[in-house]
Amino acid sequence: MTHRFQLDWALLPTGWTRDVVATVSTAGMVTSIEAGCAAPAPTERIAGFVLPGMANAHSHAFQRALAGGAERRASSRDSFWTWRSAMYALANRLRPDELQIVATQLFIEMLKAGYTSVGEFHYLHRTLDGAASGPGRFALWDAVIAAARAAGIGLSFLPTLYQTSDFGGAPLKPEQSRFQLDVEDYLDAIAARIGAERDAAGSPLRIGAAFHSLRAVPLDTLRQAAARLAEIDSTMPVHIHVAEQAREVKSCVSATGLRPIELLLGTGLVNDRWCLVHCTHATPAELAGIAASGAAVCVSISTEANLGDGFFDTLRFARADGRLCIGSDSQSTVDPAEELRWLEYQQRLRRKRRMVLATAAEPHTGTQLWCAAAREGARALGQPAGAIAVGQRADWIALDPDHPAIAGAAPEAMADRLIFAGGRAAIRDCLVAGRRVIKGGRHAAEAASAETYAALMRRFAAA
């Protein structure tokens, strides 16, 4: 069975096109696209302006419960590291059922903002009593997967290896003990999960893997685990945090004599299946090295700004043909339009000029930013999406043509309006695998989710 959509306007890889008829399979994949034709019945019309949905390439769902809650000055030395203490306190109280409530609320918010898939970089492994085996094993993994299914968002689940507290094999601190898994347990669990999901048809779920960081995974362990992961699935996405903090770079140099990105590239492991998250403190040579490796970089300007990390050199990486995607990371902002707006604004403020990330081939800054991040984000997540094209999943967003930020604008300026004026309020519909999960700006489960989530937050506040 196929389903036929009539799109008034669609942003195809060749540009904005009027009267597009797209056929979508039962599995949600686009099987044909015809432009400029009258739609044969039966069809479902999508009015307004349709763009590819955005991939959120880096998320820690549980941190949604901390967003806005760590903004009170504790001392003149507040930093990433003091924020991390608050984050650990949250990580050490969540039960699986509570994580599912938080993640469901978050994933609904992502869909309303235009994210159609998410990469969940997940390092909460052990139950509150420290068990990594027995009944309920990996219940925290199940909670995230169940939340994505309930919300209807595409998920790349990235179980994360976390072994040490710093370079040189420093043991984990007590507050990090929930993150630890033996390497064999970790690899077996990923292989088992891939096997289980292979039989679960119709769900946009992909299993990948992540290494928390070079400070959390010794290099020999990383080499061995990466080789085994490639045997399990040679196309698996692999993510890692790297060079987010100046202190992290300094510790890496004192322990190894090399900067973290140099060290990682020197392993020879990094290729186009890898996504390097942050890369905030990168030298020009390191940025060129990443671009040459084919790996993507995921930048989360909102989190990097919130945590006082530093500036990523976006323009230099773009000029090296680097693959760049975005993520909501700590969830202080869950809005791809805002993420992309600040990617450009950060460059404008630095360089004192405008349209920094637009190109000669795509002079509309918004179109350039949206299409590149959607395409590269989906690729970094191993999701068959990121463009409105045959062979891609029908993950689309539709802008309301009557929204004040959009009304009267030329189609070519729609992504500019979305990013620089309307933002999430201009998004009317959102489809994942051809299913309208946001309709008229609303998700079918949003009222119930908001109520459950609010009750949980009140309970946390009272405890």
* Nearest distance, CB of residue 279 and Zn ion, angstroms: 12
In terms of CB distance, is 314 or 332 closer to Zn ion?
332
In terms of CB distance, is 286 or 329 closer to Zn ion?
329
Dihedral sign for Cα atoms in the order 419, 421, 424, 430:
negative
Task: Give CA separation, 72 vs 93, 207, 332, 460, in Å.
Answer: 21, 37, 14, 18
Tell me whether residue 329 is one of the annotated catalytic residues. Answer: yes
In terms of CB distance, is 211 or 420 closer to Zn ion?
211
Distance CA 134, CA 332 (A): 35
Q: Which residues pair with 387 in a beta bridge?
A: none
Of the residues 278, 364, 403, 443, only one is catalytic, namely: 278
In terms of CB distance, is 180 or 245 closer to Zn ion?
245
Binding-site ranges for Zn ion (CB under 5 A): 329
Which parts of 127-250 are beta strand (E)? Answer: 154-161, 205-207, 209-211, 238-242
Residue with tokens 């080499």: 223
* Nearest distance, CB of residue 169 and Zn ion, angstroms: 22
- Residue 281's identity, in one-letter code, is H
Give the residue among 65, 149, 140, 157 at the shortest CA–CA distance from 97.
Answer: 140
Distance CA 245, CA 278 (A): 9
* Nearest distance, CB of residue 312 and Zn ion, angstroms: 14
In terms of CB distance, is 33 or 147 closer to Zn ion?
147
Cis peptide before 42 (omega within 30 of 0): yes
Q: Which residues pair with 435 in a beta bridge?
A: 432
Distance CA 281, CA 359 (A): 25
HSE value, Cβ hemisphere, 13 Å, CA-based, for 216:
20
Of the residues 309, 313, 329, 416, only one is catalytic, namely: 329
In terms of CB distance, is 329 or 429 closer to Zn ion?
329
* Nearest distance, CB of residue 63 and Zn ion, angstroms: 8
* Nearest distance, CB of residue 121 and Zn ion, angstroms: 6
* Contact assessment for residue 105 and residue 450, using Cβ atoms and an 8 Å cutoff: yes
Which residues have a catalytic role annotated? 278, 329
